[in-house]
Amino acid sequence: MTLKTGIALCGFGVLLLSFCTKNEPALFEKPANFPAPTYKFAENPLTADGVALGKMLFYDALLSKDNTISCGSCHQLSAGFTQHGHALSHGINDLLTKRNSMPLFNLAWSTDFGWDGGVHHLDLFPLVPLQNPSEMDETLADVLEKLRKTNQYPPLFTRAFGSPEINTERFLKALSQFMLTMVSADSRYDKAMRNEGVTLTEAEQEGLALVRQKCGNCHTGELFTDNKFRNNGLKRELNTDEGRYDITLLNEDRFRFKVPGLRNLAVTAPYMHDGRLETLEAVLDHYSSGVEDSPTLDPLLKQNGRLGIALTADEKSKILAFLQTLNDDTFLKNNRFAEFGLPEKPQQGSMATIDWSKVDLTLTNPVLKTSFDKVMGYYRDMLNGLLAEDGATVKQSALRMLNILKNVDRSQMTEQQRAFYALVYEDLGFDTEHVGETGLIAHQRDHFGDLSKNLYRLVKAFHLNKKPLYYHFCPKAVYNQGGYWLTETADSKGNPFFGKHDEACGTISHVVLE
Amino acid sequence: MHKTSYNHNPMKTILLFVASILVAMNTVAQKTGSVEIQFDNVVGNQDLVLKDKTYTNANGDEFAVSLFQYYVSNFRLTRKDGSEYVVPQDESYFLIREQRPETQRIVLKNIPKGTYVGVSFVIGVDSLRSASDVSRRQGCLDVGGEGKDMYWAWNSGYIFVKMEGRSPQVPMTGNRKDLVFMYHIGLFGGMGDKKTLNNIKAANLSFGADKVRVKTDDITRIGIKTDASKLLNGSTNVSIAANPSVMGGPYSKHIADNYATMFSYDGLKKELPAGKGAGVVGMNE
pLDDT, tens only, A346-399: 445 556 667 777 788 899 999 999 999 999 999 999 999 999 989 999 999 999
Q: Which residue has the higher pLDDT, B85 or A439?
A: B85
Q: Which of A121, A132, A248 shows the shortest C-beta gap to B196?
A: A248
Tell me the nearest-neighbour CA distance from A43 into chain B, angstroms: 8
d(CA B258, CA B245) in angstroms, rounded, equals 16
Indicate the pLDDT class of residue B278, thresholds 50, 70 and 90: very low
Contact B145, B95 (CB under 8 A): no
SS3 of A380-445: the string is: HHHHHHHHHCCHHHHHHHHHHHHHHHHHCCHHHCCHHHHHHHHHHHHHHHHHHHHHHCCCCHHHHH
Beta bridge partners of B246: B183
Q: Which helix (H) or strand (E) holds B208?
A: none
By CB atoms closer than 10 A (0-12, 13-18, 19+), residue A239 is middle
Q: Which of A120, A168, A246 shows the shortest C-beta gap to B143?
A: A168
Tell me the nearest-neighbour CA distance from A91 into chain B, angstroms: 16
CA neighbours closer than 13 Å in the CB half-sphere of residue B227: 19
Q: Given an 8 Å threshold on Cβ–Cβ distance, is A169 in contact with B135?
A: yes
| DSSP assignment letter at A26 | P
pLDDT (0 to 100) of residue A122? 95
Q: Which of A80, A74, A48 is nearest to A61 (CA)?
A: A74
Q: Given an 8 Å threshold on Cβ–Cβ distance, is B148 in contact with A141?
A: yes
Question: Is the minimum CB–CB distance between B184 and chain A shorter than 8 Å?
Answer: no
Q: Given an 8 Å threshold on Cβ–Cβ distance, is B153 in contact with A143?
A: no
Q: pLDDT tens for residues A2-36?
A: 334 434 444 444 444 434 443 446 899 999 999 99
d(CA A379, CA A103) in angstroms, rounded, equals 38
Contact B249, B73 (CB under 8 A): no
Cis peptide before A270 (omega within 30 of 0): yes
> Which phi and psi (to 5°) does residue A350 adopt?
-70, -15
Q: Which residue has the higher pLDDT, A495 or B272?
A: A495
pLDDT (0 to 100) of residue B4? 38
Complex prediction ipTM: 0.77
pLDDT (0 to 100) of residue B19? 54
Contact A209, A315 (CB under 8 A): no
Question: Is the minimum CB–CB distance between B173 and chain A shorter than 8 Å?
Answer: no
Interface-testing mutation among A112, A120, A226, with chain B (most B C-beta atoms within 10 A) = A120
Give the dihedral sign, CA B143/B145/B150/B154.
positive
Distance (Å) of CA B83 to CA A102, A489, B76, B77, B236: 51, 69, 10, 9, 34
Residues of B in contact with A57 (CB under 8 A): none
Average pLDDT over residues B137-166: 93
Domain A2-76+92-180 fold is Cytochrome Bc1 Complex; Chain D, domain 2 (1.10.760)
Q: Given an 8 Å threshold on Cβ–Cβ distance, is B134 in contact with A249?
A: no
Q: Which residue has the higher pLDDT, A359 or B89?
A: B89
pLDDT (0 to 100) of residue A448? 94
Domain A357-513 belongs in CATH node 2.30.30:
no
Q: Which helix (H) or strand (E) holds B110?
A: strand B105-112
Q: What are the extents of the domains in chain A? A: 2-76+92-180, 188-330, 357-513
Residue of B nearest to A120 (CA): B156
Q: Which of B156, B197, B250 shows the shortest C-beta gap to A124?
A: B156
pLDDT (0 to 100) of residue B1? 39
Q: Which of A444, A363, A371 is nearest to A408 (CA)?
A: A371
Average pLDDT over residues B79-108: 94
Mean of the per-residue pLDDT values of chain B: 87
Q: Given an 8 Å threshold on Cβ–Cβ distance, is A120 in contact with B135?
A: no
Count of CB atoms situated within 10 Å of the CB of A203? 15
d(CA B201, CA B187) in angstroms, rounded, equals 11
pLDDT (0 to 100) of residue B86? 96
DSSP helix/strand/coil, B239: coil
Residue of A nearest to B249 (CA): A249
Phi-psi region of A234 (alpha: psi -120 to 50; beta: other; left: phi over 0): beta
Contact A140, A131 (CB under 8 A): yes
Counts of helices then strands in chain A (DSSP H, E)? 18, 7
pLDDT (0 to 100) of residue B195? 80
Tell me the nearest-neighbour CA distance from A198 into chain B, angstroms: 40
Contact B177, B79 (CB under 8 A): no
Question: Is the minimum CB–CB distance between A127 and chain B shorter than 8 Å?
Answer: yes
* Ranges of chain A with pLDDT below 50: 1-24, 341-347
Question: How far is Cα of residue B130 from the mean position of the Cα atoms in its chain?
Answer: 14
Judge if A188-330 and A357-513 fold alike in CATH terms: no
Question: Is the minimum CB–CB distance between B2 and chain A shorter than 8 Å?
Answer: no
Q: Which residue has the higher pLDDT, B187 or B176?
A: B187
Q: Given an 8 Å threshold on Cβ–Cβ distance, is A172 in contact with B145?
A: no
Q: Give CATH for domain A188-330.
A: 1.10.760.10
CB neighbours of B38 closer than 8 A, spacing ≥ 6?
A: B104, B105, B221, B222, B223, B224, B266, B269, B272
Question: Is the minimum CB–CB distance between B257 and chain A shorter than 8 Å?
Answer: no
Beta bridge partners of A76: A82
Q: Given an 8 Å threshold on Cβ–Cβ distance, is A141 in contact with B191?
A: no
Indicate the pLDDT class of residue B5, thresholds 50, 70 and 90: very low
Question: Is the minimum CB–CB distance between B153 and chain A shorter than 8 Å?
Answer: yes
d(CA A431, CA A450) in angstroms, rounded, equals 7
